[in-house]
Each structure stands twice: as C-alpha cells, then as structure tokens.
Amino acid sequence: MKVFLKRIAAVSVLVYSVTLGVQADVRQLIPETTLKAFAEETSGVAAKRNLDQITLFHRTRASRQYHDAVVHIENQLKEYGFDTVEVMEFPADGKTMFGTQKSRYAWNVDFAELWLLDGEGNKDRRLASWDAMPLSVAQDSLSGAATASLVDIGEGTTDAHYEGLDIRGKLVLTESQPGAVADLAVGKYGAAGIVSYAPNQKTAWWKEDDRLVRWGHLSSFPNENAKTFGFMISLGEARKLQARLQNGEEVHLNAKIDAHHTVGTYELITATIDGADPVLKEQEIAFTCHLDHPRPGANDNASGCVAILESARAMKKLIDEGSLPRPKRTIRFIWPAEIEGSIIFLAARPDIAARIKANIHMDMVGGGLDSKAVFRIASSPYSVPSFIPDVGHAIGQFVNNETLAFASGLATNFPLHSAEGGKEPLMAIMEGFSSGSDHQVFNEGSWGIPGIYLHDWPDRYIHTNFDTAATIDPTKLKRASFVGSSTAWFLANIGAESIEPLLALLKNNAVARTAVLMMQAQGMNSDDRTRMNDVHWKHEAGKLDSLSIFLPDAKQEVSKSTNFLDELRAVVSTSTIAVVNGNAATVFTRNAGIKGPMSAFGYGYLEDKLNADERSLVKLSGTYAYEALNLVNGKRTVQDIRDVLSAQFGLVSVSDVYDYLSALESINVISR
C-alpha cells in the first residue's frame, strides 16, 4: 500500500507539472476565428428542416423509399453547390459477397394490415397497418394471409415454450423478436404468422411506456419452411390481448400482407470538398452516418444524416465566400445503409478506402430532453491507436464548457444555441470504444481507419414509433455538426504548427489515463496488473506514433514525448511480464482476401460458415470478438490479444480467446 501511495503521489506531481506547463486548449489546435466561423454558420434549424423531410420515408435498404431519401440528400447537396455528388450503386441480389457481407435482397411492401375480429368474424379494430405505420410490419416479412385464432407462446425460443400448445395454422403472440421464433413457431410447429410485442432496447425506461411499437425483424435469408410474416404491436395492446386469452376467450385476427424480396440496388451517396494541396488532397477525412431505418427514425438516424449534411453545407459556404480557405486534404461525406453499406463501400472501392485517414461518424446525435438522450463522443479501439479521439474529446470538452457557461448565464462567444432549440448545456461524455454502428467497420482490422463516434445513449425511443422529429433538438444538431466540422477541419489542415499543442494534449491525457489505470488495476493479481500496464504504455506510444500519418516530419518531437512516457512508466511500473507458453504463445495472421467483421448486418459470416455445434463452442462475443480479430496481425500472441481485450473491456480468459481464434482459423479467416 505504501508503494502504491508513493506512486499515486508521483503521478499527482506529474499531473500538476504537465497541466501547469502546457494547459491543453482547443484554441491552441484550431484558431478561434475558424471555430467562430463554424459556430455562426452551422444551423440547427436548417438541419432540422432536412430531418423533417427524411423522416417521411421508411428507409429500408434498397427499397423505393430509401431511394426517395437518397434523392433528397442528392438534391440538397447540389443546391449547396457540390459538383462532386455521386450515387454509387451495388447489387442487392441475395448472393454477391462484399468482403464478409452478403448482399441482401431489396425488400418492399405493397400492403399489410392486421385486424382484430369481433364475435361474428367481422373486422373490429385495426392493430397494424403498413400505410399508417410501416414500423408495425416486421422487416423482411413475406406475403401471406390468415384468418385465425391467436395463441400466446411467451418467449417462444425453445421447444419447451410450445408444450401443450396447438399452434398449427394459427397466429402466435410472442414477447421475442419474430426472427427469434420463426424457425420453431412456423417452421417446426406450423404457425400461420407472428405477432410480436418485443419491448424496446433495455434502458431504465424498459417496458415503462406501453404505447411503443418496436422495430421488428425476420431473417433476410429465411429457411424455406420458415418463410413467414410478422406484425409488431405495442406492449399495451399485447396486454389487452393476453388478458382476454387468460380469461378463456378466443381471440381471432385477420392478417394480410403483400411483401417481397426482389433483386434491387444498394445506393450510397457521397460528395467531396476536394483538397487544395497537390499531394495531401489524395488523403481523405470521411464523414459517415447511416441513411436507412424505419419511418420515422428521427434520432436513429436521420439526425446523423442531417448533421453531416449541415457540416457539408456550412463548410462549402464558408469556403465559397472566402471565410475559410480550401482544406489541404479532401473531406468526404458518405450516406450508406447501416454497417452493411459501409462494408460494401470499403470492400468494393479499395481505391477510396486506402485514401481515408480518419472517420467522423454520427449515429443518433439529436435527441432532446424527452428522449432522455445522453450525448457521447467515443474513441477508436485499442487495435487502432490514434491521437484523433484526443482531438475530438478536446473539442467536445470545449463545447461542454462553453454551453455550460451559456446555460449558467455567463458571457461566452460560443453558446452554440439554435433559435428553435434548447439552451441546456451539452454535457457530452468522453468515452472509450463503443460498438454498434458504421464506425466499427472503418475501425475494423481490414481497414484500420481511426476516428470518433458521436452518438446518444440511452434514448428511450430508439427503434420505436415515438422516435419522431418532435423529439429532436435543433441546438443538439448544431452542436454535433460543430464538433464534427471542427474535428474534420483540424485533421484536413494539420501541419507543423500543430505538433507542439498536439503533443501537449497527448501528454496531459497520458498522465490522466495512467492515474485511472493505477486505480483500476488495484483489484487485479500482480500478473494481470503488470500486463494491463504493458498494454497501457504500448497504447500511449501508439497514439504518439499515429502522428506520423499526418505529420511525417515530426519524428524528433515525437521521440521526446516517447521519452516522457518512459519516465512516467518508470514511476508507476517496474515489474516484468512472465514468459508465455502453449496456446497462449500462438501467433495468428489475417487472411488478406477476407475483409470485414465477422458479424455484419442481416448476415453473419462466422454464423454462416460454422454449424450450430461449432458455434456453441465459441464463448467470445460482442466487442471482445470484434476486437480480437482486429488485433490479429502476425505478431501478437494469443496472450497479447487477451491482454489488450482485458485492458479495454474487462478481464477475459486466454482459453476463450484461443477458442475463438481457432474457430476463425477453421474457416480460413486467419491462419497460424
């Protein structure tokens, strides 16, 4: 304990000395005049007007209404003066592979209704309608019709849930997603169709608002005997039906749907502000979002789409009027379908992928007070160490400070307030890696593009009929766009003058992160504590090394900062790591011919290639599995990979990591 206290004291001295000597301030990175130009030109109202339009469309990938949303974005870009607008097209044919993403069929619905019948068999009350609420039809439902009684199967995911029930030819009511019960309920036990009240994603408000209708899914690649349809109803509606069933009543429904999988076209719209430097213009800073989602899909993710559209408009206008010079590097804006569209784009256009040096991703950035949304700026994973999240966090903290001052009644040049929006402080959370959107495709080991991820979480209306334009705050849209524009502009113009303030920022943050690490490591055994320390120092060194991508002439300055890390490490960590043997010492390398993550959207590469028994042996999942593959580079051992995973997400066993990587080896994704 005494040694620990002495080290904490030493770190405290370093924190004080570094902070006192070179206080990191975003205005040391970006001129205040540039920040002011973005603050004054960026319009939350303009962004909100675009959002009002996009939320009119049910934006399922490769569908007619997705095309309508693409046309709106395209028209706006042309109106803003972009002459580099391109709509890229890729086949949605159910068979073409783009890296690890299998192209899905286009899905369109012409008609769908679900009716509650009265005692005479007449239509009494409509429970679901494609025209009124397309969200009430489970995505990837196929044509069918049934007039049948309703049976409550509860969870419906195991054979035990069907014991004693006769559901053949009937409609089933379930608390699970339609896709989770289709194979059993329809494929094995012969149900005619599915009615689901799957609750919203779990938050503190989970199941609290029984008006919410949840976005439902069936498989994009259904088993032949399980092709079916599903309707989504609210929890409140389900409780009414359950009460009648529990009272011994028969509940009869009429369901009809005309929906189809067809060969179609993925559309991805992109535009650029071309760089001015004859060499650096070949490097790109990419804004991304995802344009698809069910109607209304306001925060998820019309908000991200219109925020980057507003960044594009503001930048273009400021450049055209001479308020800002053309950036040195090219800035690209991309509107794809979520995750699958980004995989398709990067896999199909390796020429563009190779030019992208940073990714600014926005997915859910406009939630107002009613949605309970909390704004966050997330980092790249450890597999892509970079200084870029430090810059994004510095800009985010600047917005936090300025908007808190504004809300507190103090004078500030940066209220970042929209006339039609709120005046609350932003209070953004600066966090580590968070998965769940297109940024993870860019970060993925196949491409290794670092960046920041702007997003709201929690949001009590995510994926429901209440995710409407009325819940969106124009002030929030303005602030998200400002953070994205400022970060992208800095990266697009970074030069020798940026070296000193950047290194000061990284030193400050390294000390702060070291103090956090020391506190977290106290509950670990000595070996794990030593390993977590080793990961930490390698990650901090990696952040410094990443400067060379943008500043290849900064080697001398970076070397001095590396010496600073060595001095800091000597204060807090002196132990050595034990030699590893056996499976822990195994080294894997990536198969360069298979690009993309193992879990995509509507299709899982690993799930497709392994049988059920093989999948049951794989325990590693989620961000652990995602990052484990990212870390495979022909140099790291299984132990190394386990240590990095443990440092980021919490301790995990070597055996679980080895088993997962062995599974990837069995399908030729990696080899030893």
CATH (domain of 65):
3.40.630.10
CA dist list (Å): 258 to 127, 129, 138, 182, 229: 17, 12, 13, 18, 10
CA dist list (Å): 501 to 204, 491, 512, 545, 635: 41, 14, 17, 16, 33
Phi, psi dihedral angles at 388 (to 5 degrees):
-60, -45
Domain presence at residue 505: yes
471 and 563 share one domain? no
Whole-angstrom distance, CA of residue 639 vs CA of residue 645? 10
Domain presence at residue 515: yes
CA dist list (Å): 646 to 52, 457, 541, 581, 640: 43, 23, 18, 19, 10
Question: For residue 254, what is the enclosing H or E element?
Answer: strand 252-262
Q: What is the DSSP letter of 224?
A: G
Whole-angstrom distance, CA of residue 22 vs CA of residue 439? 32
Q: Check residue 4 and give its pLDDT.
A: 44
For residue 279, give the amino acid letter.
Answer: V
Structure-token pair, residue 124: 């009494």
- Kindly report the number of other CB atoms within 10 A of residue 154's CB atom: 16
Q: What angle do CA 547, 549, 554 make, to 5 degrees?
A: 50
Domain presence at residue 395: no
Torsion angle in degrees (nearest 10) through CA of 49, 53, 59, 65:
-160
Whole-angstrom distance, CA of residue 48 vs CA of residue 324? 25
Which residues sit opposite 455 in a β-bridge?
A: 363, 376
349 and 452 share one domain? yes
61 and 119 share one domain? no
125 and 234 share one domain? yes
Q: What angle do CA 23, 324, 504 make, to 5 degrees?
A: 15
Last residue of a domain, one of 475, 492, 509: 492
Whole-angstrom distance, CA of residue 481 vs CA of residue 65? 26
Residue position matching structure tokens 């940026």: 498
Whole-angstrom distance, CA of residue 354 vs CA of residue 68? 30
Q: What angle do CA 220, 222, 223 make, to 5 degrees?
A: 165
337 and 454 share one domain? yes
Domain presence at residue 386: no
pLDDT, mean of each 10-residue run, the chain (672 residues): 46 46 74 97 98 98 96 98 96 96 96 96 96 97 98 97 97 98 98 94 89 96 96 97 97 98 97 97 98 97 98 98 98 98 97 98 97 97 98 98 98 96 97 96 98 97 97 98 98 94 95 89 87 94 95 88 88 79 96 94 92 91 97 97 96 97 97 96
The answer to whether 297 touches 55, Cβ cutoff 8 Å, is: yes
153 and 235 share one domain? yes
Last residue of a domain, one of 216, 233, 261: 261
How many domains does the structure of the chain reveal? Answer: 4
Domain presence at residue 612: yes
- Dump strand ranges (E) for 207-251: 230-232
The answer to whether 629 touches 664, Cβ cutoff 8 Å, is: yes
Structure-token pair, residue 50: 């675009």
Per DSSP bridges, beta strands 97-98 and 101-102 are antiparallel
CA dist list (Å): 33 to 27, 233, 261, 320, 397: 9, 52, 52, 17, 18
Instruction: Write the burial class of residue 374 (CB in 10 Å: 0-12 exposed, 13-18 middle, 19+ buried).
Output: middle
Expressed in angstroms, the distance from the first to the final Cα of the chain is 42
Q: Check residue 574 and give its pLDDT.
A: 65
Domain presence at residue 401: no
The answer to whether 381 touches 470, Cβ cutoff 8 Å, is: no
Domain presence at residue 423: no
Structure-token pair, residue 103: 């192209």
155 and 126 share one domain? yes
238 and 278 share one domain? no
Structure-token pair, residue 79: 């109106």
Domain presence at residue 404: no
300 and 441 share one domain? yes
CA dist list (Å): 640 to 17, 296, 606, 628, 666: 33, 45, 23, 10, 21
- Kindly report the number of other CB atoms within 10 A of residue 529's CB atom: 18
475 and 364 share one domain? yes
Torsion angle in degrees (nearest 10) through CA of 83, 85, 86, 92:
-160
Q: What angle do CA 187, 189, 193 make, to 5 degrees?
A: 65
Structure-token pair, residue 160: 């035990």
562 and 661 share one domain? no
3-state per-residue secondary structure call for 119-156: CCCCEEEEEEECCCCHHHECECCCCEEEEEEEEEEECC
Range of the domain at 649: 582-671
Residue 152 is part of a domain; what is its CATH number? 3.50.30.30
Whole-angstrom distance, CA of residue 474 vs CA of residue 482? 12
Last residue of a domain, one of 211, 232, 261: 261
The answer to whether 152 touches 251, Cβ cutoff 8 Å, is: no
364 and 480 share one domain? yes
